[in-house]
Structure formats: structure tokens, C-alpha cells
Amino acid sequence: MNTRNPALVGLIRDEIRVRGPVSFAWFMQQALYHPEHGYYSSDRATIGRRGDYFTNVSVGPLFGQLLAIQFAEIWDRMGKPENFSIVEQGAHHGDFARDVLGFLRDHRPDFFSSVSYRIVEPFPKLQDRQRETVNEFGDRVQWRNSLPELGSFVGIHFSNELLDAMPVNLRNKRVGLNGDELIFVDWAKDEKPNQSQVDWVDSVATKLERGLVLAIDYGFAGAEFRETIHVRARHRLLDSPFQEIGNADITAHINWSDIGKAAENNDLRIAGFTDQHHFLTGIISMFPDTVTQEKSKRGLQTLLHPEMLGRSFQVLALSKDADFAGCLSGFKFARDPRKELGF
């Protein structure tokens, strides 16, 4: 089945005919984020059982609840600052924000009253969806179109599967044409592989005054890194990013060591790095009452199982002007993060 978006394919072809082969990052930017036709920007992305793929968030509210516990612990350790922001980037339809705020309102009203939740979202259609989802929390939630528009903040920057959705270049490859068909062409000149992720670290580091950056994503550390592109639609992995352009998700595995290096160059400290299995197990071991209902137990199985989301996802924590070393529940079972990153 070919369900490509013809208008999008047409404009990519036109660009290649005029400019010659284009970088994979440019292609990925159009496929996912073209203002009118992109898979995410047009709100065609459907995440969950009936959609294209699962994320931690789509498994159910348990993920947000466990993270809310971790956020509250961070707030406690920082001495309970009064104006505390949780900044989320890549919030999709706002489910995670709703799950976190609902849990804090019901279980940690002291923290809830100090929190302002800020969603960084460039796409109007997604902002509208998010507004509907978190409607009950009123002006506790605010929006910014981009990180540069956010003022400096004390608190947490959180993302789940944000970095893997950022456009990347491929080694010695560009996107060209064979007749009308998009193809990979060899390209001798190497381009910077993950510039958008490194730029993201720079921007977050500039905006975070004090607190923690917590990024959950899938990738590799150190010598294990392999360039890996996944194209997903209707719970299938497609063979090529050119198959269902505009209607499929494209992700690239993260090079965690590059992110860590960029962080240290920007005065962030590596406060923790582990896989999701160990991260969530650490939180649950401190707060076992969270997972008592049957439904939560099933969700937990998906989040923790090594063949589901437990091992393929990793969690990186970067701190600024706050010392969390060895004391956050999520990293209770983690090894030395710098060693894990190959530093």
C-alpha cells in the first residue's frame, strides 16, 4: 500500500530537481514538520493501540504518575522552591501533562501549588489538542512556541521521545531522485550527524537556571552507537523512509554520549543515566503503593519488560546548580553515569 502524501512528495521532488540531492535532515524535517503536510505538524500522528506506534505515555497514566513522584522528589531535594516549572517539550496531545498534574493535585498538593507547567509546542494544531486535554488545570499550564521564547526557569525540563524525532543527517548519504522515485545517493562529504540535538542541549542549558533535565529516549552509548532509522506506521516497521511520506513516523536512535558531551560543554552535570527498567524500578521500590491496581500492573509490565519498553529506552538526567548525585530514586539501581556514557 502506498499512502504517501502526494503534495509533500511533490515539493520534496521539486526541491531536489532545483538543488540536487538534499540532506536526510532536510527530508526528515519536511516529512515530519512541514507546516501544512508534516506527519506531526498536521496532527496526523496517531500514537497508541489504534495508531502507528506505542510510547510510554500511550501505555496509560501510570508512566506520568511515576514520573510525578520523581518530580516531587526533585522538588523536595532542591529545598521546595516556590516558583517551580515543569517544562515539557514534545507533549503531543498533552496526556503526560494531565497525568502528572492530576497525580500531584491528588497526592502532593504542597508541590502542586508551587508548580507551573509549561509546554513548548511549535504547532498550533497540537497546542489546541493539548489545551483540551489539560483544560481542568486552567492557567496552571502555559504554552511557548519554542525554547528561545521561554524565560529562564528553576525546575525540570522533561521529554519523552523528543530527541529521536529531531531531524538527523546520515553518514555519507543524501536523498536524491531516480526518475520520480526518491532514493539514497552516496555523498562523499560528511555532514554533522545530530546538530539539532546538540543545539537543543545548548538551548535547554541556557534556559535552565537551576534544576534538572530529564530526557527519555532510545539510543546507544559510547562505542555501541549505530546509525539506526526507524519508520513506523500502524505498528509496523517500514523498510524505507520513502514509503509513506507524511503518514509515517521517522525516528533516529540517539547518541547519548554526544548529548552528554554537549551537556558538559554547557555547564550541565551528568546526574544519572540508566535504562527505563532500572529507572522505573527504582521509583517503585521507594513508592510501591502506586502500583496496586490490576490495570497499573499490566501497564507496568509493558513499561518494564526488557522486550517491550524496559530495555530499549534510556533515561538521562542533567543537572545545574543542584546536587542530586546518588539520591534520586530513579537512579538508585544505576551505575556510574559517566562510565556508562564511555567518558
What residue ranges bind ligand SAM (CB under 6 A)?
A: 40, 47, 55-58, 89-90, 92, 120-122, 160-162, 165-166
What does the radius of gyration of the chain's CA atoms come to, in whole angstroms? 20
Could you tell me which residues come within 8 angstroms of residue 291 by beta carbon, excluding any fewer than 6 positions away?
Answer: 62, 284, 297, 300
Least gap, CB of 90 to ligand SAM (angstroms):
3
* Closest separation in Å from C-beta 188 to ligand SAM: 30
Question: Which residue number, 47 or 262, has a Cβ lying nearer to ligand SAM?
Answer: 47
120 with 147: CB under 8 angstroms?
yes
Residue of closest CB approach to ligand SAM: 90
When the beta carbons of 57 and 221 are compared against ligand SAM, the nearer one is: 57
Supply the minimum distance, in Å, between the C-beta of residue 5 and ligand SAM.
16
Nearest approach, Cβ of residue 88 and ligand SAM (Å):
8
Element (H, E) at 40: none
Closest CA to 270 of 287, 286, 256: 256
Beta bridge partners, 215, equal 159, 316
Residue among 104 and 303 whose Cβ is closer to ligand SAM:
303
Q: Where are the alpha helices (DSSP H) in the chain?
A: 6-19, 24-33, 62-77, 95-107, 109-112, 124-133, 195-207, 256-265, 276-286, 294-304, 337-340
Q: Taking the complex as a whole, how short is the minimal distance between the CB of residue 164 and ligand SAM, in angstroms?
A: 7
| Ramachandran class of 161: left when φ > 0, alpha when ψ lies in -120 to 50, beta otherwise | left
Using the minimum distance from each CB to ligand SAM, give the nearer residue, 57 or 233.
57
Tell the smallest beta-carbon distance from residue 325 to ligand SAM (Å): 27
* Residue 214 C-beta: closest distance to ligand SAM, Å: 12
170: left (phi over 0), alpha (psi -120 to 50) or beta: beta
Q: Among residues 16 and 212, whose Cβ is nearest to ligand SAM?
A: 212
- Determine which helix (DSSP H) or strand (DSSP E) holds 145, and give its type and residue range: none
**Of 47 and 78, CB closest to ligand SAM:** 47
Which three cell numbers mark 192? 554533522
Q: Which one, 131 or 338, has the nearer CB to ligand SAM? A: 131
